[in-house]
Structure 1
Amino acid sequence: MTDATAKPLLSVRGLTLDIPLASGILHAVRGIDFDVHRGETLCIVGESGSGKSLTLLAIMGLLEKNIKRSAERMDFDGIELTTASRRQMRALRGDRIAMIFQEPMTSLNPAYTIGDQLIEALQLHRNVSRETARKRAVELLEKVGITAAASRLGQYPHQLSGGLRQRVVIAMALMCEPELIIADEPTTALDVTIQAQILRLLVDLTKEMGVAMILITHDLGVVARVADKVGVMYAGELVETGPASDVFGTPLHPYTRGLLRCIPQPGKTERGAELGTIPGIVPSLVGKVEGCAFRTRCPHAIAACREAIPEQGTPPHEFRCIFADGARAAEGEAA
């Protein structure tokens, strides 16, 4: 259980990402706040294009040059990431903060063996011999469930299955014993059985090693199983955040409730019953964006939804909606 009074390992406040386009400024991420504590798993969920991956790339300092990043604070264990130099960020990446990308074949260099890449990951940040790095690589490959680990070091990425490649990427992320792992849909390219194994492996390793993790996923079933905290993202904003048990048990934002209606619930959803849907499409975030971005798809929207939306709720369970109870909308003029 995370100590709520402890200082967060990562604290983000007011993160905003703007992308200049020919048609105007795309407000891809808009003023999001969240904290992650040591040993805690934060899952960020939402539709494609909601800004989840860009948020994590902003933390890692891996944004494209044309993207403008601003934030009140992005504090990683006392290091302000918004003002950190390139040298500081290079020192952090792969050492204290590690990232697991969605597709392992794009994370691994096809021209180098698995062993060379694992060894380099450690020697880049630690003053250790190649033999010491090799022993660490074998140890971690065994820890992530790869058999005959020593012989795997001489293989190239294309000689491994998708599941084995993703396990190698996880081992690489753990080589320097990071304090924070950022995982961007790490099981998307895998079949369902392997997905479950990889996710369980990730969660078990983070708990065992006391590592914090931010996990992006579309799968609410995954979130329910592994998350300590949940952030629900829509159109560049975190519309609801809180402990997983609270967000799933008493969802307060209409978008969160809509997402949960779209998935079958064991013991509640009858076989053959229609699942819920969320009508409409995500609005454009190019140009001026006002009020609640979800109002064009929300069955409870009223004229006031065009105005500034307050953050409500009781920490740590908070949401952005004009309706204080978050559960039932008042009657009124459609926005």
Structure 2
Amino acid sequence: MPLLDVENLTIDIPTEAGLLHAVNGISFTLERGETLAIVGESGSGKSLTSLALMDLLPSRAVRRADTMRFDGIDLMAAGEREKENLRGDRMAMIFQEPMTSLNPAYTIGDQLAEALRRHRRVDRRAARERAVHLLERVGITAAASRLGQYPHQLSGGLRQRVMIAMALMCEPDLIVADEPTTALDVTIQAQILKLLRDLQQEFGMALILVTHDLGVVARVATKVAVMYAGRFVEAGPVEAVFGAPSHPYTQGLLRSIPVPGRTRPGEPLGTIPGQVPNLVGTLTGCMFRNRCDHAAGRCAEEVPDRTILPGHRMACILEPTLAGGRPQ
């Protein structure tokens, strides 16, 4: 049985213009120790998917799923107390911007200790020792002295490390990381990604990484789901999806990033014309068809998922690319 099993997840948000279909029927599974990266443009539904798993969606959002099960626990049927007991304990989240996620009125030590004392019922001394240990483990020097500091006294990289330490306080089975390196410079990004990978191997956690950086995916993930307009248009092992991308959107994303040793200095990168479509109202057919060079009349009809190879699937009428490799 997988650690996390999600089938046909949808998220709808009422707006003045009509019903916004933010996420439209996505499905995936995640085993212990695996890393699933969810990639795509801004507005594709990546962050809402991660919030739906933790049941932290905006109050107006409506979450539905045929199955959303974590280690045998039905998350759709679980009561508030059961979900509160899971969050911060067996399921933890690293948010995109730590400065808005950490409470400016409380010290780092108080915020680190809160989850452990809530879920493990330990005393202040034990919580402090655990906090110091994890701050050291995530690469923060003089960890004990940091406990009395406030978030504004730390750099962006240190705040992100504090968020990672906070997520690890109860040794969760699953961590959901929503763009954990967006606000950091390139050097710190590399350090944070290596840290997440090392900690995952050490603790045996499953990791969901929400990102728009395909380079991050190649270095960290075991599986990738390419998301567009609320739907997974292609998903599978990273080697399969990046080695033989089959959906036109995946191909367009890969063409838009430089390839070491192949992309010459000054050479223009690929682009995807147009914009992400409006997801308000009735949605029909492939949502990428207005930006796709291969669009045909039947793209306006429902496009089912197709299996390319075991574990690798896409939602497109085109024949899959099994041997072509990365698009030129």
Q: TM-score range by the shorter chain?
A: over 0.9
CA contact (8 A) 1:10 1:37 kept: yes
Residue type of the alignment partner of 1:251: P
Residue in structure 1 matched with residue 113 of structure 2 by the alignment: 119
Residue in structure 2 matched with residue 246 of structure 1 by the alignment: 240
Residue in structure 1 matched with residue 103 of structure 2 by the alignment: 109
CA contact (8 A) 2:244 2:321 kept: no
2:167 counterpart of 1:173: yes
Q: Name the CA distance, whole Å, in 2 between partners of 1:200 and 1:284.
A: 37
2:122 counterpart of 1:99: no
Q: Name the CA distance, whole Å, in 2 between partners of 1:69 and 1:108.
A: 26
Q: Name the CA distance, whole Å, in 1 between partners of 2:310 and 2:12.
A: 28
Q: Name the CA distance, whole Å, in 2 between partners of 1:125 and 1:308.
A: 46
- Measure how far apart 1:314 and its partner are: 2.5
2:263 counterpart of 1:279: no
Q: Give the unaligned 5+ runs of structure 2.
A: 324-328
- How many pairs were matched up? 322
Aligned-pair RMSD on alpha carbons?
Answer: 1.2
2:148 counterpart of 1:154: yes
- Say which of 314, 317, 322 aligns to 1:322: 317
Residue in structure 2 matched with residue 31 of structure 1 by the alignment: 25
Q: Name the CA distance, whole Å, in 1 between partners of 2:106 and 2:274.
A: 47
Q: Name the CA distance, whole Å, in 2 between partners of 1:168 and 1:251.
A: 36
Residue in structure 1 matched with residue 257 of structure 2 by the alignment: 263
Identity among equivalent positions (%) equals: 68
Q: Secondary structure at the match of 1:42?
A: strand
Residue in structure 1 matched with residue 283 of structure 2 by the alignment: 289
Residue in structure 2 matched with residue 333 of structure 1 by the alignment: none
- Measure how far apart 1:156 and its partner are: 1.1
Alpha-carbon displacement from aligned partner over 1:66-89 (angstroms, at most 9, x marks no partner): 111110000000111111111111
CA contact (8 A) 1:121 1:175 kept: yes
Residue type of the alignment partner of 2:313: E
Which aligned pairs between 1:231-242 and structure 2 lie closer than 5 A?
231-242=225-236
CA contact (8 A) 1:44 1:230 kept: yes
Q: Secondary structure at the match of 1:296?
A: helix
Alpha-carbon displacement from aligned partner over 1:267-287 (angstroms, at most 9, x marks no partner): 111221111000011111111
Give the structure-1-normalised TM-score: 0.94
- Measure how far apart 1:327 and its partner are: 7.8
Residue in structure 2 matched with residue 136 of structure 1 by the alignment: 130
CA contact (8 A) 1:9 1:37 kept: yes
Q: Secondary structure at the match of 2:119?
A: coil
- Say which of 202, 211, 218 aligns to 1:208: 202
Alpha-carbon displacement from aligned partner over 1:228-277 (angstroms, at most 9, x marks no partner): 00000000000000000111100010000000000011111122111100
CA contact (8 A) 2:286 2:303 kept: yes
2:55 counterpart of 1:61: yes
Moved over 2 A (4+): 324-328
Q: Name the CA distance, whole Å, in 2 between partners of 1:120 and 1:139.
A: 15
Q: Name the CA distance, whole Å, in 1 between partners of 2:150 and 2:258.
A: 41
Q: Name the CA distance, whole Å, in 1 between partners of 2:269 and 2:309.
A: 30
Alpha-carbon displacement from aligned partner over 1:149-196 (angstroms, at most 9, x marks no partner): 111111111111111111011000000000000000011111111111
Q: Secondary structure at the match of 1:125?
A: helix
Residue type of the alignment partner of 1:201: L
Residue in structure 2 matched with residue 4 of structure 1 by the alignment: none
Q: Secondary structure at the match of 2:251?
A: helix
CA contact (8 A) 2:116 2:169 kept: yes
Residue in structure 2 matched with residue 311 of structure 1 by the alignment: 305
Q: Name the CA distance, whole Å, in 2 between partners of 1:270 and 1:159.
A: 42
2:9 counterpart of 1:15: yes
Residue type of the alignment partner of 2:187: T
Q: Name the CA distance, whole Å, in 1 between partners of 2:15 and 2:310.
A: 37
Q: Give the unaligned 5+ runs of structure 1.
A: 1-6, 329-335
Give the structure-2-normalised TM-score: 0.96
Alpha-carbon displacement from aligned partner over 1:46-79 (angstroms, at most 9, x marks no partner): 0000000001111100112211111000000011
